[in-house]
Structures are given as C-alpha cells and as structure tokens.
Amino acid sequence: MTLFTCKPSAFLLALSFAATAAAAANDPPQADPAAVPPGYSTVITGTTHDFDYFMGSGWLATQHRLKATGVGSKEWDTFSATLCATPYLGGMVTVDEMDMPSKGTSGLTLRSFDPAKRQWSIYWISSRDGLLETPAMVGGFHGNHGEFYSEDRDAQGRPIKVRFLWNLNDHDHARWEQAFSYDNRTWETNWTADFVRGDRAKLCDDGRPRR
C-alpha cells in the first residue's frame, strides 16, 4: 500500500513562521539567570535612624497602583490612604499601619534593623490574609534616598526581582515606589505613593489610622 505524501508548500511554511513569531512576540521576556537589573543589590546598608523621618506624625498618601503587572499595562488605579508609624526597641523596629478606606483594606509594614549587617529587613502584612510576606526587602538609606531589594514571585507565580525606592523630598513630603523586573534587564514601576505629613493627633489613634 502506498501512502500519498507531499512537501509543505512555501505558503504553509510562511503561515507557520508568522504564527510562531506572533506567539513569541506576546510571550513575557525571558529572564537571564546570570544577569541582574540595573542597581539591584542585597548589600545596601543604612542606619537605625533611616525611618526616624516618619515617626511622630501621621501621613496622608496618594497611591497609584498598576492594574496588571508584567504585561505592559498602562492602566493605573488611584486611591487615598492614611499611614501612622510607631518605633520600638529604640528605633531598631518600626511598625506602620496604612488604611485604604476606598479599598476596604489595610496593611502593616514591619521593619527590623540588623546592626551587624547594618541593614533593614522590610515585611508586609495585608488585612486580606494576615500573612507575613516573605522574603523581606533588604537595604537602607544614603542621605534622603533609600533602596531595598529582594527576589520573589508575583501573584501569578512568575519569578521577579523587586525594588523599593524611597525619596524624602523635604520635611513634609516623601515618595515611595515599587518596581518588578521580569527579565533581569528592566524595571516596571507598578506602585507609587506620595506622602504628605499631617497632624498625628487628628489622623491617628494610639499609633493606628483613625477610622
């Protein structure tokens, strides 16, 4: 018995190549495991006074959060928040609680300072699940600029490198930014917060945002 066979036509080959190229163009960039994105470091140091700036006041924040990460989204969600910070152990530990009323949620930032490494470790706990998120972001401030980095996975389980940037613009204004790197070459900023100092007596009750 003879089977009928034929070679694929040039047209079919072209269609196959175009489909493969289109699929590749939509795939997320592949990370080079031997590379790191610009500035990435887990040895940045600071001092126990890095977060003194935030103590003793309440803060009003305008938050901007990217609606989807790692897909080239340009859509941002904007909302307000109130933050109150309290130091412990002589300033070696700080706790911030941030209330986001329009989201019906709040979060707590726990920071601890390792005097041997001269580094802060920063952890986040959301009221949605009460879980301490790990690994910690590590780093510190040089002057009015702070940098903190870590490796993690995003909400979809994709491996990422994470960056926090702090800029203390003046006595009453600060800015925080979060960025992810999916390809170990570029950063995508996905969350920013602009803070304005407020009256702690009006904004906070016992170190927590007034609700």
What secondary structure letter does DSSP report for 38? T
Please, which pLDDT band fits residue 114 given cuts at 50, 70 and 90?
very high
pTM above 0.85, yes or no: no
pLDDT for the residue numbered 101: 97
Average pLDDT over the chain, rounded to an integer: 89
Q: Which helix (H) or strand (E) holds 17?
A: helix 10-26
What secondary structure letter does DSSP report for 199? -
Task: Give per-residue pLDDT as tens, 20-68.
Answer: 444 444 455 566 666 899 999 999 999 999 999 999 999 999 999 999 9
What secondary structure letter does DSSP report for 143? T
Please, which pLDDT band fits residue 203 given cuts at 50, 70 and 90?
very high
CATH fold of 52-204: Lipocalin (2.40.128)
Contact 82, 61 (CB under 8 A): yes
Residue 204 has pLDDT above 90, yes or no: yes
